[in-house]
Amino acid sequence: MSPLKNDRYIRAALKQPVDYTPVWMMRQAGRYLPEYRALRAEAGSFMALATNPELACEVTLQPLRRFELDAAILFSDILTIPDAMGLGLHFVTGEGPAFEKPVRTERDVNNLFVPDPADQLKYVTDAVSTIRKALKGDVPLIGFSGSPWTLATYMIEGGPTKNFSIIKSMMYQSPELLHKVLDVLADSVIVYLNAQVEAGAQALMIFDTWGGVLTPRDYQAFSLRYMQKIVDGLHREYNGETIPVTLFTKNGGDWLDSMANTGCDALGVDWTTNLADAKVTTGGKVALQGNMDPSILYGSAERIREEVATILASYGSGPGHIFNLGHGIHQTVEPENAKVFVDAVHELSRPYHKAQ
């Protein structure tokens, strides 16, 4: 594999000096791009894209052809692990993912197993290796997974939910059963992410999309505990290269210090938390990724640049900032506005790195 031509994302995640703040976007490969919509229509479905390594590679590369992004992220889905467990993942138009066999009973839980990345998830590792070769060392490739808690919410609810009543009922009525689910999922994520690294991923991210719906006590017990287990079990070095690990809990600003104590390298921060406050809270232990409200991309070019400047000033000088949106880019955003955003980060961030 060739060395990285642009390693700013890796260096920033490890809190090493860079000449400008690197930037990428959550969901940067996806529905806001007309070329993605055309390819998806041709493939027939989202899963037809995600399970075809060549098509997944093409989708991953699409935003890199438009924007000067500092990292690529594997095009896949967070629900690949429960799908590989045989739960019958499918997508309902207008509603999102659903499972034919939700996990509700002790028997359901006992039937769960750790999927083999070389078997049930081979299409993912094949996609990683295909993308890594296609990138030719231009930028690093980020691999990812959903967190155990987030995966469990979909598996137990059976699909999207607004009040999390089924999983929270299990949490309060049969906590030992839920812990069993989360334990299997943590083991699965460790094996899955390590396989991604072995296939060519150069950084890892764990998306805890629904951790923010928990109380502080329950977050520690049912979400962070299992992300800690994952951090402890991951390849942190591979083939002589350090593999940065980022944790992201949406609406998790109150728990950043606890998250930083897991030993991860970086934390994702959403737009509900000020980066200056996050920097103080975490005490410089980790890099910070974020944290522009994705809806700013509906604004004018001037408004987008203004917000980029505000967030850069919030973080201030020095290494350890990876610019990103606070969550995924919206599907109705104009690609031209995403370009304004990316270019503004590169241009306006340089003064913050001159003293390094």
Annotated binding site for substrate: 27-31, 77, 154, 209, 327
Residue of 20, 36, 154, 192 marked catalytic: 154
Residue of 40, 104, 225, 350 marked catalytic: 40
Phi, psi for residue 97 in degrees, rounded to 5: -70, 150
In the residue annotation, 126 being an active-site residue is answered as: no
In the residue annotation, 31 being an active-site residue is answered as: yes
Structure tokens at 120: 């049930």
In the residue annotation, 172 being an active-site residue is answered as: no
In the residue annotation, 217 being an active-site residue is answered as: no
In the residue annotation, 154 being an active-site residue is answered as: yes
Residue of 9, 20, 32, 77 marked catalytic: 77
Sheet with 72-73, strands from edge to edge, namely 72-73, 141-146, 203-208, 245-249, 266-268, 287-289, 321-322
Given a contact cutoff of 8 angstroms between Cβ atoms, the answer to whether 152 and 170 are in contact is: no
3-state secondary structure of 217: helix
Rounded CA-CA distance 186/147 in Å is: 8
Structure tokens at 45: 């479905």
Rounded CA-CA distance 83/65 in Å is: 31
Residue with tokens 């990316």: 342
3-state secondary structure of 300: coil
- Binding site: residue ranges? 27-31, 77, 154, 209, 327
Catalytic residues: 27, 31, 40, 77, 154
